[in-house]
């Protein structure tokens, strides 16, 4: 039996986002986001419980300030002590891993969703994903954009407004558009 569109999505293969199973997952995520994004007045413990209801992993002491937006949630794995500031967007058609102690500034976008370069495939509504990995103790400044397939090494710093198109080594500082490693 050939893989379902959902299975293809999770494997990072071309898939149709119009598939009913995928649309049902997105609808469940939208309903969850409505609850989560209305939770700003709740305690961190109550918000943590809401996060654990939807995300793939939520480490101890992790804080995600609403509003927060994602495609599905179940592909997001947050280590212990992770902090995501207001208005973070994670498009998680495949796995997004954020290591222990990493801090994400407001308005950061982490994107795994990608689209074919061939115009006929795009017209056909096909897309695919490439996983994103953020190491331990990484700081990502406000408004940065992390593109599909990027890995950011432990202890790296990403400057505010940076557009990260390529991997960033451990301990490096990357800034600009496109982001470049600086000494």
60-75 pLDDT per residue, tens: 999 999 999 999 999 9
Q: What percent of the chain has pLDDT over 90?
A: 96
Tens-place pLDDT, residues 115-173: 999 998 889 889 999 999 999 999 999 999 999 999 999 999 999 999 999 999 999 99
115 is catalytic: yes
Distance, in Å, from the CA atom of 104 to the CA atom of 100, rounded to the nearest integer, reads 12
Catalytic residue from among 11, 44, 53, 115: 115
- Phi, psi at 31, each rounded to 5°: -65, -40
Average pLDDT over residues 101-113: 98
Tens-place pLDDT, residues 16-64: 999 999 999 999 999 999 999 999 999 999 999 999 999 999 999 999 9
pLDDT confidence band for 104 (50 / 70 / 90)? very high
Per-residue pLDDT at 119: 92
Distance, in Å, from the CA atom of 107 to the CA atom of 85, rounded to the nearest integer, reads 8
Above 80 in pLDDT, residue 183? no
Alpha helix positions (H), 38-135: 44-54, 119-123
Above 80 in pLDDT, residue 76? yes
Per-residue pLDDT at 122: 87
Per-residue pLDDT at 72: 98
Region class of 29: left (phi > 0), else alpha (psi between -120 and 50), else beta: alpha
Average pLDDT over residues 107-116: 97
């Amino acid at each position: 039996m050939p893989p379902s569109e959902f299975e293809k999505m999770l494997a990072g293969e071309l898939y149709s986002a119009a598939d009913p199973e995928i649309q049902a997952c997105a609808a469940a995520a939208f309903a969850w986001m409505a609850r989560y994004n209305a939770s700003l007045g709740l305690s961190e413990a109550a918000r943590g419980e809401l996060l654990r209801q939807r995300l793939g992993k939520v480490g101890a002491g992790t804080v995600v300030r609403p509003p927060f937006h994602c495609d599905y949630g179940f592909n997001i794995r947050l280590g212990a002590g992770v902090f995501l500031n207001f208005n973070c967007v994670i498009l998680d058609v495949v796995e997004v891993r954020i290591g222990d102690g990493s801090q994400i500034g407001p308005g950061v976008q982490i994107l795994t969703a990608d689209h074919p370069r061939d115009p006929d495939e795009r017209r056909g509504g096909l897309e695919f994903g490439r996983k994103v990995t953020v190491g331990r103790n990484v700081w990502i400044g406000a408004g940065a954009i992390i593109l599909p397939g990027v890995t950011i090494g432990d202890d790296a710093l990403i400057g505010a407004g940076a557009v990260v198109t390529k991997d960033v080594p451990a301990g490096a500082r990357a800034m600009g558009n496109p982001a470049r490693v600086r000494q």
